[in-house]
Structure 1
Amino acid sequence: MKFHIQTWGCQMNDHDGEKLSGLLSAEGFEAVAEAGDADLVLLNTCSIREKAVHKVYSELGRLREEKQRRPLLVGVTGCLAQQEQAALFKRAPHIDFVLGTMALRQLPRLVAEAQAGRGRVIDTGEYPDNHLFPPQVARRRDTAKALVTIIEGCNHACTYCIVPTTRGTERSRPFADVVAEVRGLVEAGYREVELLGQNVNSYAGGCTFAELLARVAEVDGLEWLRFTTSHPMNFTRDLARELVTNPKVAPFLHLPLQSGSDRILKRMLREYTIDQYLERLGYLGEGRSRLALSTDFIVGFPGETDEDFEATMQVLETVQFDASFSFIYSPRPGTPSLRLKDDLPMPVKSERLARLQQRQAELTLASNRRFVGREIPVRIESRTATEQGWWLARSGEWKTIHLAAGPGRELPFGELVQARITQASPHFLGAELV
C-alpha cells in the first residue's frame, strides 16, 4: 500500500507527520509524494484557526470525488480530528477513520480495520504514554533541522485557544530520553535541533527547561539548539540567562504577546499584564540586543476597542519586535471566548490587521538592514540552487538567507557556511559566500 500524508499547522504537527509516516513505513507501506498516487491519504490537521479548518474540508471534498473514481482510504488525524471526533463522519461520510492526537500509535490498527471493511473507525482516546513515542520510529523529512518533542499539552486556559482540548494537559518526556534522542540525531548527521511543546517553559521531565537546554547543549557535535513555543508566565530568569549565554542556543526567541491591552489580556486569560511581559523581556539584559525577538498578535478579539488596539500598536513601538505573526481573532468551537460579544465589523478588524502588519514590515526591514555588511554563519537548507542561482539558508536569528555562491558551486546541505550580508528586505537577506 502506498500512502501520502498532508500536514497543516505548527512544528508539532510537522513532527507528528514524521511519526505517522514512520509507523506506516514500519508496516511495509510506501510513502509517495502525490495524493493521486496513494492508496491511503492521511490528513494531519490543524484547528487553531478557522482558515486551517476550511482548507482541510476543501481537501476532503476533493478526495470524495477521487474516491468515487478509484479505491482509496482516507484518514483524518491531528487537532481537528481530536476536536470534532465522530462528528467528522457526519460532515464527510467518505472518511474511513479518525485518529486523535493522543492515539498516534494506534494508526496501524485503524488502517488494518479500515482495510478489512470496517466503516467509520475511530480512536481519539487519551493514552497515558502517548508522549513517549519511540523516536527511532519517526521517518524524518529531508530537512536541515530535526524536531524533538519534549512536552505535549497545555495547562493554561486562554479563552480563545482550542489546544487544551485537542492536545490535553501537560506531559513531559524524561530529560534522559530527550538527550538520548538528540545524541542519536547528531550521530545521524543533524547539527541543529528544535525542542517542541505547546509550552516548553513548563517542561518538568526531571529538571527545569533551562536545565534541559544546558544538558542538550552538552551533546558533542550539536551546533544550534532552538525551542518553541514559550508562554510569558513561565519565562524565567534562568531560562533567559541560558538563552543569552549558552553559545549553542540560537539567538532567537518567540514569546507570544497576543495583545498590548491589559484589559484584552485579562479577557483572554493570558495571566500577565503588559508590565509583566516587559519585565520578562528585561530578564534578557544586554543579551536582548544580540538576539531576534518575535511574537504573536490576535487582532479584533471580542470587545477590542480603538484604545485597546492603539495599546497594541504602542507595545509594538516599545519593543520593536524583529518579526511577528498576526491574525484576526478566529472563534473556535468549545472555547470560552465564544460567550463574549463579538460585534466588531470585519472591515475594522481587517484595517487594524493591515495597519499592524504594515508597521511590523517596517520594523522587520529595519532589523534586517542592521545585518548588511556583516559576516555571519548560516545553515544551508536547500539541496540545489534556484533558477536565480541562490541557495536557501538560515541564520541563527532565524533570518531567511538567499545565498549566492557562484556558477556551478555546490554547497553542503545542513552545514554551516560563512556568508556576507549584502542586501535586506522585510522577507529575506541577500548574501554572498565568503
Structure 2
Amino acid sequence: MKYLIETWGCQMNDHDSEKLAGLLAKEGFEAAAGVGDADVVILNTCSIREKAVNKVYSELGRLREEKLRRPLLVGVTGCLAQQEKEGLFRRAPQIDFVMGTMAIQQLPRLVEEARAGRTRVIDTGEYPDNHLFPPETALRHSTAKALVTIIEGCNHACTYCVVPTTRGPERHRPWKDVVAEVRDLVEMGYREVELLGQNVNSYMGGCTFAQLLDRVAEVDGLEWIRFTTSHPMNFTRELARTLVTNPKVAPFLHLPVQSGSDAVLRRMRREYTIDQYLERLGYLEAGRDRLCLSTDFIVGFPGETEADFEATMALLERVRYDASFSFIYSPRPGTPALRLQDDLPAQEKSDRLARLQARQVELTLASNRRMVGRTVPARVESRGAVEGGHWLARTGEWKNVHLAAGEGRRLPFGELVNVRITDAGPHFLKAEIA
C-alpha cells in the first residue's frame, strides 16, 4: 500500500504531516510518487481562511474523479476536519475517513477500518495528550531545518480565529522532552530547528519560553533556533533579552499586530492597544537594529473605517517592518466576529490590501538593500543549482538568497556558508560565496 499526503496551512500542519507519514510507515506503507500511484490520499487541511478551505474542496473534486477510475481511499485530517466533522461527508461523500487535529495517533486504526469496508469512518475526539506524540515516529522531510512542536492549542480568544476550536486549549510539552528531541535531531544532522506553537511564547512546560530557548541553545552542534508564532501579550522583557543576546537564536521575530487601530483591535479581542504593542517592541532596545521584524495584518475587518485603515498604514510607517503577511478578513464558521456587521464593499477591501502591500514591498526592498555589501552566514537550502543557475539559501534574518556558487561547485546542503550580498530585490537577495 502506498500513501500520499497533501498539506495546506502553517508549519504546524507541515510537521503534523511528518507525523502522519511516520505512522503510516510504521504500518508498512510506502510513499507514493503522486496521486495516480497512491492507494491512500490524505488531505491535511487548514481552515483559517476561506481560500484554504476552497482549495481543499477543489482537490476533493479531483479525487472524486480518480475514485471513479479505480479503488482509492481518501481521508481528510487537520483543522478543517476538526471544524466540519461529519459535515465533510455530506458535502464530499467521496471521503472515506475524517480525523481531527487531536486524534493523530488514531490514523492507523482509521485507515484499517476504511480498508475493511466501513464507511464514514471518523474520529474528531479530544486526546489531551496528543502533544506528547513520540518524536522518533515522525518521518522528516528532507529539509535544512527541523520542526519541533512545543505547545498545542491557544488560550486566547480572538474573535476572527478558529484555532481555539480546531486545536483546543494550550497543552505544553515538558522542556526536557523538547531538549531531548532537539539533541536527537542534531545527531541526525540537523543544525537548525524551528519551535512551533499556535502561541509559541506562552510556553509553560516547566520553564518560561525564554528559558526554553536558552536550554535548547545549550545543545552541542545546534546553530540556529527559530520560533513561530508569537502573541504580543506573551512577549516579555526576558524573551526580548534572550532574542537579542543568545547567538543561537536567529535574528528574526514575527510578532503579529493585525491592525493599527485600537478600535479594531478591541473588536478583534486582541487584548492589547497599539501603545502596548509598541512598548513590547521597545523591549528589544538597540537589539531591534539587528533583527528582521515581520508581522501579520488583517484588512477589512468588520467595522474598519478609512481612519482605522490609515492607522494601520501609520503603524507600518512607524515600525517599518522588514516584511509582513497581509490578508483580507475571512469570515470563519463559529467565530464571534460573524456577529459583527461587515458592510465594507469587497472592492474597498481589495484596494486597501493593495495599498498596504505596495508600501510593504517598498519597505522590504529598502530593508534588503541595506544588506548589500555585507558578508553574512546563510544556510544552503537546495541540493543543487535551480533554474537560473543559482543555489537557494537563507540568512538568519529569514531572507531568501539566490547564491552564485561558480561553475561546477557543489555546496553542502543544510550547512552554513559565508556569502557576500551583491544585490537586492523585494523578494530575495543576490549573493556570492565569500
What is the rounded CA distance, in whole Å, between the counterparts of 1:128 and 1:9 in structure 2?
22
What is the rounded CA distance, in whole Å, between the counterparts of 1:210 and 1:22 in structure 2?
30
Query: In structure 1, what is the equivalent of residue 196 of structure 2?
Result: 196
Deviations 1:364-416 (A, max 9, x none): 00000000000000000001101321000000000000000011110000000
What is the rounded CA distance, in whole Å, between the counterparts of 1:19 and 1:174 in structure 2?
19
What is the rounded CA distance, in whole Å, between the counterparts of 1:121 and 1:131 in structure 2?
23
**8 Å Cα contact 1:389-1:406 kept in structure 2:** no
TM-aligned CA deviation for residue 216 of structure 1: 0.2
Query: In structure 2, what is the equivalent of residue 132 of structure 1?
Result: 132
TM-aligned CA deviation for residue 33 of structure 1: 2.9
Is 1:292–2:317 an aligned residue pair? Answer: no
What is the rounded CA distance, in whole Å, between the counterparts of 2:388 and 2:88 in structure 1?
44
Q: Name structure 1 gaps, 5 residues minimum.
A: none
Amino acid at match of 1:359: R
TM-aligned CA deviation for residue 267 of structure 1: 0.2
Moved more, 385-394 or 301-310: 385-394
Deviations 1:279-313 (A, max 9, x none): 00000010000000000000000000000000000
What is the rounded CA distance, in whole Å, between the counterparts of 2:110 and 2:258 in structure 1?
38
- The TM-score, its normalising length taken from structure 2, stands at 1.00
Query: In structure 2, what is the equivalent of residue 81 of structure 1?
Result: 81
Query: In structure 1, what is the equivalent of residue 108 of structure 2?
Result: 108
Amino acid at match of 2:181: E
Query: In structure 1, what is the equivalent of residue 325 of structure 2?
Result: 325
Query: In structure 2, what is the equivalent of residue 244 of structure 1?
Result: 244
Is 1:340–2:371 an aligned residue pair? Answer: no
What is the rounded CA distance, in whole Å, between the counterparts of 1:9 and 1:48 in structure 2?
8
TM-aligned CA deviation for residue 201 of structure 1: 1.1
**8 Å Cα contact 1:75-1:98 kept in structure 2:** yes
TM-aligned CA deviation for residue 317 of structure 1: 0.2
Deviations 1:8-36 (A, max 9, x none): 00000000000000000000000123111
Amino acid at match of 2:162: I
What is the rounded CA distance, in whole Å, between the counterparts of 1:56 and 1:17 in structure 2?
15
**8 Å Cα contact 1:144-1:192 kept in structure 2:** yes
- Show the 5 A alignment for 1:5-20: 5-20=5-20
Query: In structure 1, what is the equivalent of residue 233 of structure 2?
Result: 233
Give the secondary-structure state (helix, strand or coil) at the position aligned to 1:77. strand
What is the rounded CA distance, in whole Å, between the counterparts of 1:307 and 1:259 in structure 2?
12
Give the secondary-structure state (helix, strand or coil) at the position aligned to 2:140. coil
Query: In structure 2, what is the equivalent of residue 376 of structure 1?
Result: 376
**8 Å Cα contact 1:226-1:250 kept in structure 2:** yes
- Show the 5 A alignment for 1:246-265: 246-265=246-265
What is the rounded CA distance, in whole Å, between the counterparts of 2:163 and 2:225 in structure 1?
25
TM-aligned CA deviation for residue 178 of structure 1: 0.1
TM-aligned CA deviation for residue 323 of structure 1: 0.1
**8 Å Cα contact 1:405-1:432 kept in structure 2:** yes
Query: In structure 2, what is the equivalent of residue 269 of structure 1?
Result: 269
What is the rounded CA distance, in whole Å, between the counterparts of 1:386 and 1:167 in structure 2?
37
Deviations 1:42-83 (A, max 9, x none): 000000000000000000000001100000000000000000
Amino acid at match of 1:72: L
Seq. identity, % = 80
What is the rounded CA distance, in whole Å, between the counterparts of 1:387 and 1:318 in structure 2?
38
Query: In structure 2, what is the equivalent of residue 303 of structure 1?
Result: 303
What is the rounded CA distance, in whole Å, between the counterparts of 2:280 and 2:339 in structure 1?
31
What is the rounded CA distance, in whole Å, between the counterparts of 1:5 and 1:136 in structure 2?
19
Query: In structure 1, what is the equivalent of residue 98 of structure 2?
Result: 98
Q: Name structure 2 gaps, 5 residues minimum.
A: none
Give the secondary-structure state (helix, strand or coil) at the position aligned to 1:289. helix
Query: In structure 1, what is the equivalent of residue 177 of structure 2?
Result: 177
TM-aligned CA deviation for residue 174 of structure 1: 0.2
Is 1:386–2:395 an aligned residue pair? Answer: no
Amino acid at match of 1:116: A
**8 Å Cα contact 1:243-1:251 kept in structure 2:** yes
Amino acid at match of 1:403: L
Give the secondary-structure state (helix, strand or coil) at the position aligned to 1:131. helix
Is 1:54–2:54 an aligned residue pair? Answer: yes
Query: In structure 2, what is the equivalent of residue 219 of structure 1?
Result: 219
**8 Å Cα contact 1:379-1:416 kept in structure 2:** yes
Query: In structure 2, what is the equivalent of residue 147 of structure 1?
Result: 147
Moved more, 28-37 or 418-427: 28-37
What is the rounded CA distance, in whole Å, between the counterparts of 1:137 and 1:11 in structure 2?
18
TM-aligned CA deviation for residue 203 of structure 1: 0.5
Amino acid at match of 1:65: E
**8 Å Cα contact 1:389-1:407 kept in structure 2:** no
Query: In structure 2, what is the equivalent of residue 71 of structure 1?
Result: 71
Query: In structure 2, what is the equivalent of residue 417 of structure 1?
Result: 417
Query: In structure 2, what is the equivalent of residue 44 of structure 1?
Result: 44
Q: Which runs of 4+ in 1 moved over 3 A?
A: none
TM-aligned CA deviation for residue 128 of structure 1: 1.9
Is 1:163–2:141 an aligned residue pair? Answer: no
What is the rounded CA distance, in whole Å, between the counterparts of 1:33 and 1:378 in structure 2?
31
- The TM-score, its normalising length taken from structure 1, stands at 1.00
Give the secondary-structure state (helix, strand or coil) at the position aligned to 2:130. coil
What is the rounded CA distance, in whole Å, between the counterparts of 2:35 and 2:19 in structure 1?
19
**8 Å Cα contact 1:201-1:235 kept in structure 2:** yes
Query: In structure 1, what is the equivalent of residue 403 of structure 2?
Result: 403
Give the secondary-structure state (helix, strand or coil) at the position aligned to 1:190. coil
What is the rounded CA distance, in whole Å, between the counterparts of 1:100 and 1:87 in structure 2?
13
What is the rounded CA distance, in whole Å, between the counterparts of 2:304 and 2:68 in structure 1?
47
What is the rounded CA distance, in whole Å, between the counterparts of 1:132 and 1:386 in structure 2?
38
Deviations 1:180-227 (A, max 9, x none): 000000000000000000001110100000000000000000000000
Deviations 1:134-177 (A, max 9, x none): 00000000100000000000000000000000000000000000
- How many residues were matched structurally? 434
